[in-house]
Amino acid sequence: MQSQTNSPESRYKKSFGEMSCAPEAFLMEQTGQNAFSNELPIITSAGCMCSQNMAVLGVNGLEKLTSRIEELLSHHEELQAINEELLEANIELQKTNEELNRTTSDLESRNRELLRLASNYADLHNCDRIGTIIVDHHLLIRVFNPTCAQLLHLLPQDLGRPAEHLTRNLTNQTELLNDMRLVLQNGVPIIRETGNYKGSCFLAHFTPLPSRTGQVEAVVIHFSDLSERKRDELKFEYLAHHDPLTKILNRFSLDQRLAQSLEQAKRDGNQLAVLFIDLDRFKAINDSLGHHIGDLLLVEVAARLADTVRGSDVVARLGGDEFVVVLPHIQSVIDPAYLANKILHTLSRPYLLDGHELHNTPSIGISVFPHDGQTVEELLKSADTAMYHAKSRGRNNYQFFMQEMHTIARERLLLEHDLRLAIERNEFILHFHPQIDLASGLVVGVKAMLRWQHPVRGIITPDRFLSIADASGLILRIDNLSLEMACRQLAAWTAESLPRIRIAVKLSAKQFRQKTLPEKVAAIVSKAGVDPSLLELEITEYSTMGNPDETIRQLDRLSKIGLQLAMDNFGAGYSSLGHVKHFPVNRLIIDRSFVKDIETNSGDAAIAAATILLAHSLGKQVTAKGIETEAQLAFFSRQKCDVGQGYHFSRPLPADKAAHFIRHNPARSFVE
């Protein structure tokens, strides 16, 4: 085997070097068939020049030429290195381009998949109640509907932007973004409440959006506007704890607050007080003036109570005309007594309600922890019992609870029970109070007065049971019974050829406001077979208050039956005289409150005289009730009053004694 230095290639290189004057080291590095392909022309040319001009150049010139050739070769090596780097960079660029092509293809595939999946939500996209948005696995916004844009204030240019643009106007941005990531990671739906800084509230449903392969590709978020529902919830929460009419606390909240105060008082060893407040004669106002005026009165009472108590006290409405005030901490019974006096004064001031000036008073019962009860129920019951005792003492006052009041309360319950049985057993009778014509002294009528003939208690007068009947809803049945019995008695007296007299029956305000009253009265009169002109219906002034047009229509319908109509307690109410002149009544009845002190009270005397003058100028008669003395009789005789009624003439009598009185009462004139 030949050595490398003696090979044909090496000998060739050496000969070529001698001919071209090229450096031996350079020639030995060239290999392969193209070893000199690029440099050969240059080197050959340089060698020829070297051979031909060696004699001319000399040694120095030759060295310079050799140095120049070496510089060229060095530059060639640098270019070759750069070329190799460019080739490597080109290979990397081709690889990167291939990767980008694959990524683009994948994104296009994913986009087609998202669009396919989003098409399943086309209905929600067009929904005007639910905002829908799709966020891909890169947390980029891909799709949202107009409702979502409106709810979250999104713009068209937000498509393709990060999800931060979705949550930028929401209060809990970080939690929402974390929810998106969790759904993408775990594929489990999430529900979260959120809201914006303007106070709107939304419910966000995060739902995974899988591809055909089951991989979670995106998150679908449905936004429901909860603002209206939240407002409703707040409203319901308010209504659950407040009375809708008066806006103060209701019974539910009262029980809660009183229970809390009671527990605190037990822990601290303190006293607390409960004031039970009931409006006097509220039902008369409500029935006569209508529920609208009654409601206005309740609202005003609640406002006055709230202004009267301390900030730490509790004011609530139980229902109807019943209110409760709780004093969570008192030093002594002087505290609730002082507040009760303030309430009496405050609630007794006149009320101007929708053009009506009303006067009303409260009755107040007071219970104190720990003496009058240990629980909410016991304290309220004790205060309620004390309130009824205050009413029995004349109203417009307050009473502290005493143990013996329980006996009174039980008595009231028993009486109500017996009253229901009395209606079924027909235990009622009528007594008749004679009415005397002051010009002739003859009996011209009687006032039918109801009595309860109790099988054990004996005769019970209306002042003991009518308030119970009204509160228990039995008053209408009792009113109808009174009217039926009066007509039957009138028929009996007519059959006995008793002198023709009127029988007056008083209607409650509730009965007068019944739209079917004229038909019922007509049926009762027809069934009894009596002359309707001998039946006089007394309507209280309270009954006519309220809607004057409706009052006139009701009176007209009763008048067409042929009945006599009288306005009772005239002057004691607050009806307008402008309305009275239009009421088709035959008689005004002066209230006994103007009669009892007429001898000493010039005001009462002036009112009574003016009433008589007014009635006569309107073509109506006048009856003065409650005449008990000769002086009272003399006054009304001088004023030319038409009829008198009172103990001065006779007490109310049973039917047989009344008939005897009618037949034998001597005729004599009381008019001077």
- CA–CA separation, 81 and 67 (whole Å): 21
Report the alpha-carbon distance of residue 124 to residue 198 in Å, rounded. 25
Same domain, 161 and 31: no
Tell me if 480 sits within 8 A of 520, measured CB to CB.
yes
- Is 616:398 a contact under the CB 8 Å cutoff? no
The pair of three-digit structure tokens given for residue 528, joined into one six-digit string: 């009894």
Q: Do the domain assignments include residue 237?
A: no
Asked whether 326 and 317 are in contact (CB, 8 A), the reply is: no
Q: Is position 184 within any domain?
A: yes
8-state DSSP, 277: E
Amino acid at 429: I
* CA 503/CA 486 separation, integer angstroms: 7
The 10s digit of each residue's pLDDT in 88-106 is 888 888 887 777 766 666 6
Burial 129-157 (b: 16+ CB within 10 A, else e): ebbbbbbbbebbbbbbbebbeebbebeee
588-605 pLDDT tens trace: 999 888 999 998 999 899
Domain boundary among 64, 82, 100: 82
pLDDT higher than 50, residue 1? no
Calculate Rg over the CA atoms of the chain: 55
Are 274 and 316 spatial neighbours (Cβ–Cβ below 8 Å)?
A: no
Q: Is residue 89 part of a domain?
A: no
- In this predicted model, which residue has the larger pLDDT, 398 or 5? 398
Does residue 298 sit within a domain?
yes
Regarding predicted confidence, which is higher, 472 or 565? 565
Strands of 122-239 (E only): list them.
130-136, 141-144, 190-195, 201-210, 216-225
Do 186 and 246 fall into the same domain? Answer: no
CATH of the domain at 550: 3.20.20.450
Domain co-membership, 59 together with 151: no
Q: What is the pLDDT of residue 111?
A: 60
Which pLDDT band holds residue 579 (cuts at 50, 70, 90)?
low
Q: Is the pLDDT of residue 639 over 90?
A: yes
Q: Describe the crossing of helices 251-268 and 227-241 by its angle, rounded to 10 degrees.
A: 60
Q: Is residue 671 in a domain?
A: no
| Packing angle of the helix pair 8-20, 40-119 (nearest 10 deg) | 110
Judge if 582 and 481 occupy the same domain. Answer: yes
Name the percent of the chain lying above pLDDT 90.
Answer: 55
Structure tokens that stand for 408 in this block: 């009174």
The mean per-residue pLDDT over the stretch 231-236 comes to 79
Strand partners, 583: none
Half-sphere exposure in the Cβ direction for 410 (13 Å, CA) = 5
Identify how many contiguous H helices and E strands the chain contains and give both numbers: 24, 21
Residue 34 — pLDDT band, cuts 50, 70, 90? very low
pLDDT higher than 60, residue 535: yes
- For residue 109, being part of any structural domain is answered with no
Model pLDDT, residue 227: 80
Q: How far apart are CA 450 and CA 453, in angstroms?
A: 10
Residues 74 and 144 in one domain: no
pLDDT band, very low/low/confident/very high, at 36 (cuts 50, 70, 90): very low
Residue 552 falls inside a structural domain: yes
Residue 195 structural domain:
122-231
Rounded Cα gap, residues 291 and 486, in angstroms = 31
User: What is the structure's pLDDT at 112?
Assistant: 59
Pick from 80-94, 191-205, 276-290, 491-505: least confident: 80-94
Same domain, 426 and 340: no
Does the structure show a pLDDT above 90 at 630?
Answer: yes
> Is residue 575 a part of any domain in this protein?
yes
Cα gap 21→66, rounded to integer Å: 8
Sorting pLDDT into bands at 50, 70 and 90, what band is 42? low
The whole-number pLDDT of residue 57 equals 53
Q: What is the mean pLDDT of residues 614-618?
A: 92
Q: pLDDT > 70: what percent of the chain?
A: 84
Whole-number pLDDT of residue 407: 78
Q: For 194-215, b where at least 16 C-beta lie within 10 A, e where not — what string?
A: bbbeeebbbbbebbbbeeeeee
Q: How far is Cα 438 from Cα 580, in angstroms, rounded to an integer?
A: 25
Q: What is the CATH number of the domain that holds 262?
A: 3.30.70.270
Give residue 288's pLDDT. 73
User: Taking the CB of residue 384, how many other CB atoms lie within 10 A of it?
Assistant: 21
The alpha helices in 348-473, defined as continuous H runs, are 376-392, 405-425, 462-472
Q: What is the pLDDT of residues 470-523, one digit of tens each?
A: 878 899 999 999 999 999 999 999 999 999 999 999 998 889 988 999 999 999
Q: What angle do CA 554, 559, 560 make, to 5 degrees?
A: 100
The C-alpha atoms of residue 656 and residue 432 are separated, in whole angstroms, by: 10
CA 353 to CA 296: how far, in whole Å? 7
Q: Which of 47, 62, 49 is nearest to 13 (CA)?
A: 47
The larger pLDDT score, comparing residue 572 to residue 124, is at 572
pLDDT-derived band at 541 (thresholds 50, 70, 90) equals confident
Shared-domain flag, residues 189 and 131: yes
Q: What rounded mean pLDDT belongs to the chain?
A: 85
Closest by CA position to 271, among listed 374, 341, 343, 363: 374
Q: Is the same domain home to 485 and 582?
A: yes
Query: Where is mean pLDDT largest: 10-24, 52-66, 100-114, 339-353?
Result: 339-353
295 and 349 fall within a common domain: yes
Confidence of residue 262 (pLDDT cuts 50, 70, 90): very high
Phi, psi of 535 (to 5 degrees): -105, 125
Q: Do residues 629 and 587 both lie within one domain?
A: yes
Higher pLDDT, 18 or 155: 155
Asked if 27 and 18 touch (Cβ cutoff 8 Å), the reply is no
pLDDT band at 66, cuts 50/70/90? confident
DSSP character for 594?
G
485 and 360 in a common domain: no
Residue 32 binned pLDDT confidence (cut-offs 50, 70, 90): very low
Burial (CB count <10 Å: 0-12, 13-18, 19+), residue 101: exposed
* 356 plus 259 within the same structural domain: yes
For residues 488 and 393, give the distance between their C-alpha atoms in angstroms, rounded to a whole number: 37
Q: How far apart are CA 630 and CA 648, in angstroms?
A: 7
- Does residue 134 contact residue 118 with C-beta atoms inside 8 Å? yes
* Domain total of the chain: 4
Is residue 343 within 8 A of residue 301, CB to CB? The reply is no
